[in-house]
């Protein structure tokens, strides 16, 4: 992101106490105020990023394009339970007290609908119109630790950071890789956990860790006399950006507040996943609980749509009436759709029972063999947004305690 550094100039940056004149190092923590955060959003736009951040819309927090601090969900928190979500009044003036909502960042890296290619008749042949390689440079503002882990999982699926080996059948998704390469990630540490959160039992933490893949990470200190954010530098791009912004040196009081906030969030986890669920599910493919959950599941696919790691898709070819133009489009799909498993002769998972079992065993068990990790990050979205409140941690617990 060399265009950021030096392209805007700055007369406001302040070095941390005791290090005046020294360059900021990756891992450095400083503190900026609300005006500094406003400057960050302005700077991102100025150097060519499209800021995407949280907004309160239609009774939920969603991730959309933002232009200034006034777009953020000021003073909102949320209440979540199985099948329940609602926004409530939070700490006055806070920006990031809410938890994850129904949208995830995957809609910007792996869009719900995406044109792969098109073709138009020219003379006696067709001219191929390849998908545009000019993808936007997003700046994601407000990425939670569990969502960073979700991006890492999708990176494995779509081949970001991996060399293609066509002879071995290893291909990356060029659109995902292009979007991911350009994306700037500004993480936000959680000040609390919800009743459907369980990131700590999936190897995560409500506060980001070094080398987790962020450029900058914010810890919001609830507005009291001042409204401030501790900022941690996670990358060279983040360092270059921070050098153009106003900040003060971090104090032991600041680091103590952040540590206290992390402990509080860890203690509030509302759900827990059994640690050995990978092997438990393999032993219990014929457990009677699959019939029980199938009687409650609506096969609506909400869980897969809100999941930040699910990646099922389908393609559709469409041709105009004259036959002169055609295009192929990729769209999100779900393993809860009967048609998703349709092959010659019919669907191989025609019952809800088999589709739910496929989803849960793939995400929590088989994923380890494919990608070397679980496909779940413990964000709790599938629990909150299930219209009948099916709880993946509860299904796992029952199968573990009553199965083989």
Q: Residue range 206-222: average pLDDT?
A: 96
Buried b (16+ CB within 10 A) or exposed e, 63-74: beebeebebbbe
Average pLDDT (202-215) is 96
Q: Which two tokens stand for residue 50?
A: 């499209």
Residue 132: the pLDDT is: 66
Residue 87, pLDDT score = 98
pLDDT category at 217 given cuts 50, 70, 90 is: very high
What pLDDT score was predicted for residue 133? 65
Q: What is the arithmetic mean of pLDDT over 328-351?
A: 92
For residue 329, with 0-12 CB atoms within 10 Å meaning exposed, 13-18 middle and 19 or more buried, which class applies?
Answer: middle
* In 307-391, alpha helices (H): 352-361, 367-371, 381-384
- What's the pLDDT score for residue 130? 75
Q: Which two tokens stand for residue 162?
A: 């991996």
Binned at pLDDT 50, 70 and 90, residue 4 comes out as very low
Give which of 193, 194, 187 is closest to 150, Cα–Cα.
187
Indicate if the pLDDT at residue 398 is higher than 80: yes
**Residue 21 pLDDT:** 52
283 backbone dihedrals φ, ψ, rounded to 5°: -85, -10
Q: pLDDT tens digits for 269-289? A: 999 999 999 999 999 999 999
**Confidence band, pLDDT 50/70/90 cuts, at residue 35:** very high
| Mean pLDDT for the chain overall | 92
Residue 305, pLDDT above cutoff 90: yes
In a 3-state reduction of DSSP, which class is residue 138? Answer: strand
Tokens matching residue 302: 């909400």
Q: Examine the pLDDT at 7 and tell me if it is beyond 60.
A: no
Task: Identify the pLDDT of residue 69.
Answer: 96
Give me the mean pLDDT over the 99-106 stretch.
Answer: 97
Q: Is pLDDT above 50 for 66?
A: yes
Average pLDDT of the segment spanning 293-300: 97
Q: Does residue 238 register a pLDDT over 80?
A: yes
DSSP string, 64-105: EE--SGGGS-TTEEEEEETTEEEEEE-STT-SS-S---S--T
pTM: 0.91
Q: 226-240, 270-284, 338-352: which range is least confident on average?
A: 338-352
Average pLDDT over residues 62-70: 97
Q: What is the DSSP string of 145-184?
A: HHHHHHHHHHHHHHTTT---BGGGTB---HHHHHHHHH-E
> How many whole angstroms separate alpha carbon 339 and alpha carbon 198?
32
The CA distance from 119 to 202, in Å, is 45
Q: Which pLDDT band, with edges at 50, 70 and 90, does 18 fall under?
A: very low
- pLDDT above 60: residue 9: no
Phi, then psi, of 317 in degrees rounded to 5: -100, 135
What is the pLDDT confidence band of residue 15, given thresholds at 50, 70 and 90? Answer: very low
The label of the residue with tokens 């106003």 reads 246
Residue 113: the pLDDT is 96
Between CA 257 and CA 268, with CA 263 as vertex, the angle to 5 degrees is: 125
pLDDT of residue 19: 44
User: Could you tell me the CA-to-CA distances from 277 to 253, 281, 400 in Å, in that order?
Assistant: 40, 6, 7
Query: pLDDT tier at 200 (50, 70, 90 boundaries)?
Result: very high
Does the pLDDT value for residue 116 go beyond 50? Answer: yes
Q: What is the mean pLDDT of the segment spanning 315-325?
A: 94
DSSP string, 351-362: SHHHHHHHHHHI
* Mean pLDDT (whole number) for 234-246: 96
Band (pLDDT 50/70/90 cuts) for residue 178 is: very high
Mean pLDDT of 110-134: 88
């Amino acid at each position: 992101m060399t265009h950021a550094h030096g392209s805007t100039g700055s007369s406001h940056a302040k070095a941390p106490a005791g290090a005046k004149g020294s360059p900021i190092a990756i891992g450095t923590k400083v503190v900026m105020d609300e005006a500094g955060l406003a400057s960050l959003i302005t700077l991102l736009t100025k150097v060519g990023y499209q800021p995407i951040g949280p907004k309160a819309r239609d009774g939920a927090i969603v991730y959309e394009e933002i232009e200034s601090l006034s777009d953020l969900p000021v003073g909102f928190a949320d209440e979540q339970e199985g099948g329940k979500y609602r926004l409530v009044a939070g700490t006055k003036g806070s920006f990031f007290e809410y938890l994850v909502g129904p949208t995830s960042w995957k809609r910007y890296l792996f869009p719900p609908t995406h044109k792969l290619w098109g073709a138009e008749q020219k003379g006696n042949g067709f001219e191929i119109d390849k998908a545009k390689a000019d993808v936007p440079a997003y700046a994601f503002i407000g990425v939670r630790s569990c969502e960073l882990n979700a991006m890492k999982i999708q990176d494995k699926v779509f081949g970001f950071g991996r060399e293609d080996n066509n002879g071995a059948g290893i291909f990356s998704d060029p659109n995902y890789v292009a979007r991911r390469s350009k994306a700037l990630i500004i993480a936000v540490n959680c000040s609390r956990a919800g009743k459907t959160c369980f990131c700590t039992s999936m190897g995560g933490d409500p506060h980001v860790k070094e080398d987790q893949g962020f450029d900058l990470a914010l810890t919001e200190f609830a507005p009291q006399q001042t409204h401030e954010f501790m900022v941690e530098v996670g990358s060279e791009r983040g360092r270059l950006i921070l050098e153009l912004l106003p900040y003060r040196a971090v104090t032991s009081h600041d680091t103590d507040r952040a540590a206290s906030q992390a402990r509080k969030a860890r203690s509030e986890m509302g759900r827990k996943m059994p640690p050995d669920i990978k092997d438990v599910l393999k032993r219990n493919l014929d457990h009677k609980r699959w019939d029980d959950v199938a009687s409650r599941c609506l096969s609506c696919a909400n869980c897969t749509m809100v999941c930040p790691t699910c990646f099922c898709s389908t393609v559709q070819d469409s041709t105009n009436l004259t036959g002169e133009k055609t295009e192929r489009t990729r769209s999100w799909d779900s393993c809860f759709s009967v048609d998703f498993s349709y092959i010659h002769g019919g669907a191989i998972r025609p019952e809800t029972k088999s589709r739910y079992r496929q989803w849960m065993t793939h995400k929590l068990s088989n994923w380890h063999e494919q990608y070397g990790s679980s496909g779940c990050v413990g964000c709790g979205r599938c629990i909150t947004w299930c219209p009948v409140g099916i709880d993946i941690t509860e299904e796992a617990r029952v199968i573990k305690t009553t199965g083989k």
